[in-house]
């Protein structure tokens, strides 16, 4: 079944992503102080909000057992993957491995480096790199 395009429904931008965090203060420290993500505010009963480009990242305690698991992988586009990787390693972030190519096409390749946050959620740095 093909659905007709509806101009009142556009999917151009993602407004907010929610990630579970058991220890909000520890998670705030990781995202604000280690990653350097702009911190917006904390709100009861255990929420923290960060600016990530045009998207808000919300960290929250799991409301129910079915929400108590690591979330989807967040892939952060960075302008200089190697520099971002080195900076986070200097700040104590442990990566699964160094940046590596996950896809190649003529003239460029997509490189990524994976790590986890203080709450066990998987994150990644990503960048398209000019290549042969």
Residue spans per domain, the chain: 16-130
Compute the mean pLDDT over every residue in the chain, rounded to the nearest whole number: 90
SS (H, E, C) the chain: CCCCCCCCCCCCCCCEEEEECCCHHHHHHHHHHHCCCCEEEEECCCEEEEEECCEEEEEECCCCHHHCCCCCCEEEECCCHHHHHHHHHHCCCCECCCCEEEEEECCEEEEEEEEECCCCCEEEEEEEEECC
Identify the CATH class of 16-130: alpha beta
The pTM score is 0.81
- pLDDT band at 62, cuts 50/70/90? confident
- pLDDT(1) > 70: no
Average pLDDT over residues 100-109: 94
- pLDDT(36) > 90: yes
- pLDDT(23) > 70: yes
26 backbone dihedrals φ, ψ, rounded to 5°: -65, -45
Average pLDDT over residues 1-28: 81
């Amino acid at each position: 079944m093909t659905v007709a395009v509806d101009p009142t429904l556009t999917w151009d931008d993602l407004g907010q992503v929610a990630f579970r965090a058991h220890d909000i203060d520890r998670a705030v420290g990781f995202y604000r102080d280690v990653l350097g993500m702009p911190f917006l505010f904390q709100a009861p009963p255990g929420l923290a909000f960060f600016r990530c480009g045009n998207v808000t990242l919300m960290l929250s305690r799991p409301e129910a057992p079915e929400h108590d698991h690591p979330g989807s992988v967040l892939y952060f586009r960075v302008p200089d993957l190697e520099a971002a990787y080195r900076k986070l390693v200097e700040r104590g972030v442990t990566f699964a491995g160094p940046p590596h190519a996950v896809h190649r096409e003529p003239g460029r390749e997509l490189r990524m480096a994976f790590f986890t946050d203080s709450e066990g959620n998987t994150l990644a740095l990503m960048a398209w790199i000019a290549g042969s």
